[in-house]
Chain A
Amino acid sequence: MATTADAVTTPATAPARRRLADRDGLLAWGFLLPSIVYIVALVGVPFVLAIAFAFSDVTAGDPSYDFVGFRNFTRVFQDPVFWRALGNTFVFTLISMVLIVVLGKVLANILVADFRGKWLVRFLVLLAWTTPVALSSISWLWLLDSIYSPIDWMLRQFGALGPAENVYWLGRPGLSMASVIAVHVWRLTPLAAVIMMAGLMAIPKDIDEAARVDGAGYWRRMFEITIPLVLPVAAVAALFGAIFTFTDMAVVRVLTRGGPNDATQVLASWAFYRGIDGGDVAQGAVIALFLFPLLLAAAVLILRAVRRIEVR
């Protein structure tokens, strides 16, 4: 077999190796196979197993497998908490996504601008996203504490609250949902901003300058150039936001554990409570399974939107 140096100087003398390494079809499979095997073994197999669990009577205490048909499904559908969690998931995802995209756009504009201390601002903005979610949620748990919350302290100073009053951010249904959404938005907006920042920087400078020469003002340029050109990237940011929001239960888990009275329960956290905390593996599997078609639909919709924009 020829060495690399030989191959460089006299390519014709290394036929055996060249032929193998140049067969694109074979090479494509060779390159792809390790990833596919890995994914099939550790996502595909457990996925099928999870579906199998949904039709079984497996619990944490009794792991032996018995097929029970759709019994788990009917039981889950009869549970009002499931429907509540489903509704919450939609509310949670929709509001979060709108806020993440809008605030992400504003933040992206700041991140691309040139000014003194830009480095520090970028660092402070990125903290929210790069910190492990369990840790940043704990910071928020303390920030929203029922007695020692500094937000309550400020409200008391401004006279919005009585001297010994507290808001109980995580203790009232509407407020706790708002708190969970706020923390989630706070955490994911920097990611959306980074993605959109890439989109903003990709707008060719001459288009913007030409519009400026033609006398277009800031808002006109914003709505007729920047936003249409950033739209595909914004759609991708929205897709990522939706995926994270649908599947993530870390914020809910750390802040409220789904409470009060399941007011902040989402599908992922409800599946975790039934399946792991409650030990009813089969019902947990049914609830978790419900996440998948919703995610699939969201992904297909947004991928299609992106393609349509790109074609135009």
Chain B
Amino acid sequence: MTTAEEAGRLRQRYARRHVLARVGLYLTAIVAALICAAPFLWSLITAFKQNRDLYNPQNNPFVFNRPPTSDHVGYLFTDTEFLTFVANTLLVGVLVVLITLALGLPAAYALARLDRPWSGPMAIGIFLVYLVPPSLLFLALSRIVVAVGLQDSTWSLVLIYPTITIPVSVWLLMGFLKNIPKDIEEQAMVDGYSRVGAFVRAVLPLAYPGVIAVVVFAFTLTASEFIYALAFVAPTDQMSVSIGVPTQLVRGDVFFWQSLQGATVLVAVPIALVFTWFLDRFVSGFTMGAVKE
């Protein structure tokens, strides 16, 4: 057997293997995406169904047996305070993200870069704070919320949510900051900046992926939170999405299924779009650290 023949056969084998691998990849990707998104696809169909179509167990649930209607999604905008819930969620989310960054960035910098003897234990301590579950603090916090006069107000959530987001964010940011080479601030300080100046001008811009990660992470946590929102906010016009939708569209035993599903999709899609948009940056931030080792 000549070497040319052998090479040709090998090449064929590799080509076949390559095609098989691609087919397998596409198949698993499609299956995974379908399983992950199944409830949302189902929500999307449900949201536009007529009652007579929806509440007939004989009907194929995946197709429109009667013409689709936008009545139930319209109901969400005209007859409920859905838009108020969205506005409240955005307000709380943005403010919580700002507070988290304002407090978390300096704290993470101090723990990751200033080399104090206590920074290791302190970092673990802050991380452990994250383990204290809302269901444990809920009762006591509700007293504190009343004491500062924020009961029944969206502002109570702005006050409380950073307790969840700061510990995670400090932990995340420490990872990002540790992996920026020390020479960068030393260079900046040689150039005449103070330590604070070097932090703001030289280190922060490089920590940008970490900041993005924190923004996305903190916003997602805030928008998802359930127990505190349920506990502190009773008036409808102060509710966030995660509590307003379930309480206002489920009246006793009556579920407004189509409107509920419509609301889920309307909330889910924008957040997931933003997250997908930033995913590579988010991940590359984590990765920078591991490569350095």
Contacts and interface: CB of A to CB of B under 8 A. Distances in A.
Contacts of A76: none
Given A27-B196, A130-B275, A143-B42, A43 B137 contact: yes
Contact of B106 (A9, A34, A117, A202): A34
Given A21-B196, A42-B141, A133 B242 contact: yes
A90 interface: no
A220 to B, nearest CB: 15
Q: Which among B29, B114, B189, B246 has the greatest number of chain A C-beta atoms within 10 A?
A: B29
B246 A254 contact: yes
A86 interface: no
Contact of B36 (A148, A190, A250): A190
B184 interface: no
Contacts of B231: 276
A25 interface: yes
A303 B124 contact: yes
Contacts of A113: 25, 29
B160 to A, nearest CB: 7
Is chain B's interface secondary structure helix, strand, loop, or mixed overall? helix
Nearest to B61: A150
B286 A31 contact: no
Contacts of A247: 131, 133-135
Interface residues of A, number: 102
Is chain A's interface secondary structure helix, strand, loop, or mixed overall? helix
A285 B144 CA distance: 16
A100 B106 CA distance: 33
A10 to B, nearest CB: 8
Interface string B2-33: 00000000000000000001100110111011
Interface stretch (A91-99, A167-175, A191-199, A257-265): A191-199
Contact of A198 (B35, B263, B287): B287
A130 B128 contact: no
A115 to B, nearest CB: 6
Contacts of A285: 136, 139
Given A7-B192, A32-B107, A35-B170, A130 B122 contact: no
A121 B33 contact: yes
A142 interface: yes
B224 interface: yes
A255 interface: no
A134 B245 contact: yes
Contacts of B242: 132-135
Interface string A122-165: 11111111111111101110110001101001000000000000
Contact of B32 (A39, A47, A125): A125
Interface string A172-201: 000000000000001001100011011101
A281 interface: yes
Going nearest first, the 3 A-B pairs with the smallest beta carbon separation are A202-B290, A198-B286, A247-B133
8 contacts: A31-B106, A131-B40, A132-B241, A198-B286, A275-B138, A276-B138, A291-B136, A295-B133
